[in-house]
Amino acid sequence: MAGRCGIVAPVETGSGCKVAAGRADDWWRGAVIYQIYPRSFMDTNGDGVGDLPGIIERLDHVASLGVDAVWISPFFRSPMADFGYDIADYRDVDPLFGTLDDFDRLLARAHALGIRVMIDQVLSHTSDQHAWFRESRQSRDNPKADWYVWADPKPDGTPPNNWMSLFGGVAWRWEPRREQYYLHNFLASQPDLNFHNPDVQAATLDNVKFWLDRGVDGLRLDAINFCFHDRRLRDNPPKPVELRAGRGFSTDNPYAYQYHHHNNTQPENLPFLEALRALLDRYPGATTLGEISSEDSLATTAEYVTPNRLHMGYSFELLTDEFSAAYIRGTVERLEAAMTEGWPCWAISNHDVQRAVSRWGGPDAGPGLAKLLVALVCSLRGSVCLYQGEELGLPEAEVPFESLQDPYGIAFWPNFKGRDGCRTPMPWDGGANAGFTSGTPWLPVPAPHLAANAGLQAADPDSVLNGVRAFLHWRDAQPALREGSIRFIDAPGQLLAFIRESQSQRVLVVLNLSPTAVSMALPDFARGAVPVIGHRLAEGTLDARELRLPPHGAWYGTLPRGRA
């Protein structure tokens, strides 16, 4: 099995690890983590679905970007009701994706390229095909009877409370063998584990240990605030009509009708996170990244990300439709105010939301915005999740209803078209199916993606791909951007301006989020600022104290130290 990259100091010659000895354990601070959605990355056996050998085949592309790690979405045994987020066996690879030997080869190849490997862990729920649930549902007195959240019906036979599923409808499913309901915060085929049972916690940590022993460098923790539920099963309070839209939900989903105070984000989760962190601390350099979605996700992130809980956390605040300098500044400042000792992580795209270029730029967004969005998220304080295809500037794909695979989208069509539009296959070349597969892809490859394929962009020095490569390698040499503090300054309109400062560098960052040219006068403390070149974005010009930025342009300048 492959060992963990960079945990031994000094780092061995030829290991490929990017982090120098002495920094190996905190490599994740300021890291760029590239998310791979295996189904859509690269297919090597012609079945139309990406696989682990396909990831190995394309790791050179990932390494060329200059990222620090990959996060691989679930590849475990699963009936694929939610495309791998319904796990039937936490310790094995689904044959659709390959074998455990394939995973070990992937780990070894990634480490040889200096790339760390993080894997998804879905702890709060399993598939209804998991052996634990198959046993639990049989009776009320079997050894696994209390491993899931079971509850008696009300006297009239209705569910025990008013909790709703995130995917629509009530969050309870009837099991006639037990004459009880079980809880499912997501699909009915994703029953929630009962984390109030210490045996469940122990078994969960043992599954995590299996992968840490195998050599993974970190865990991305799916829906980590959903592990515990309110023991008393109290009803969630209703949400006023005017507050229902938001947090990624619209009023056509009854999940938006409640404050979710009791079905997730319970205080008992904190000791469990501390036990999880204690396990991770036995593996130097291993890290955790929690996905957090609560009624106040920023406050929960600050609570969860501490020296004795999670290493990093991200929420959905920058995964929404809201795109303005004021909103981004306000979001970051609120987290900075709440997170006094933790380390944030930011994402503007992933496998669950519309691609950022389309979401924030509309149908006419061009390559300039695509480059700027990568620069934006990589210039904030924290680590970064970069979703596959962002380096190509891919827009959201239009997937016709008859080709939809996502049960969430099928249920809410046509108001919500689901998550398939951001999950279509990676376009590698201009050939059949964009070089993704020799068979029929599980989702169609749209024509705009074929025209933006990686091979074509690699040959174009002005492409989004080469722009992103240049920016990420440039950023890696800027200590203020990787590890520095952040402080925003006032700027007009759609200009976002802030100072990043480390022990060795102080940088003023000004980003133009608009498609029109904008100017601003630099404040007095910025006199003597020197442009930092090489980022390959549309660059602003400085004349005396007047900074002029082209559409979707950027300006980075080192500041004299010691001024306000």
Count of C-beta atoms within a 10 Å radius of residue 409: 18
**Phi, then psi, of 349 in degrees rounded to 5:** -150, 155
* Helices 100-112 + 198-214 axis angle, to 10: 60
Residue 321 burial (10 A CB sphere; 0-12, 13-18, 19+): exposed
Which among 248, 230, 219 is positioned nearest to 122, based on CA atoms? 219
- Residue 51 designated active-site: no
Choosing from 291, 317, 396, 476, the catalytic residue is: 291
Q: Are strands 383-387 and 343-347 parallel, antiparallel or unpaired?
A: parallel
Kindly report whether the peptide bond that precedes residue 523 is cis, defined as omega within 30 degrees of 0.
no
Backbone angles phi, psi at 501, to 5 degrees: -140, 125
The answer to whether 316 touches 349, Cβ cutoff 8 Å, is no
Q: Which residues contact 338 (CB under 8 A, 6 or more apart)?
A: 298, 299, 301, 302
Contact 381, 344 (CB under 8 A): yes
Catalytic-labelled residue, pool 43, 82, 192, 222: 222
Report H helices in 263-324.
Answer: 269-280, 297-304
Residue 564 burial (C-beta neighbours within 10 Å; 0-12, 13-18, 19+): exposed
Q: How many CA atoms lie within 13 A of 346 on its CB side?
A: 20
Find all residues with CB under 8 Å of 203, minimum gap 6, and list them: 132
d(CA 134, CA 172): 17
Distance between CA atoms of residues 316 and 297, nearest Å: 8
DSSP per-residue letters across 250-277: -TTSGGGGB--SSSS--TTHHHHHHHHH
Q: Is 19 helix (H, G, I), strand (E, B) or coil?
A: coil
Residues 6+ apart with CB under 8 A from 229: 149, 183, 192, 194, 196, 262, 263, 264, 266
Token pair recorded at residue 305: 């990300």
- How many degrees, rounded to 5, is the angle at CA 95 between CA 449 and CA 286? 80
Establish whether 391 is a catalytic residue.
no
Residues that are catalytic: 222, 291
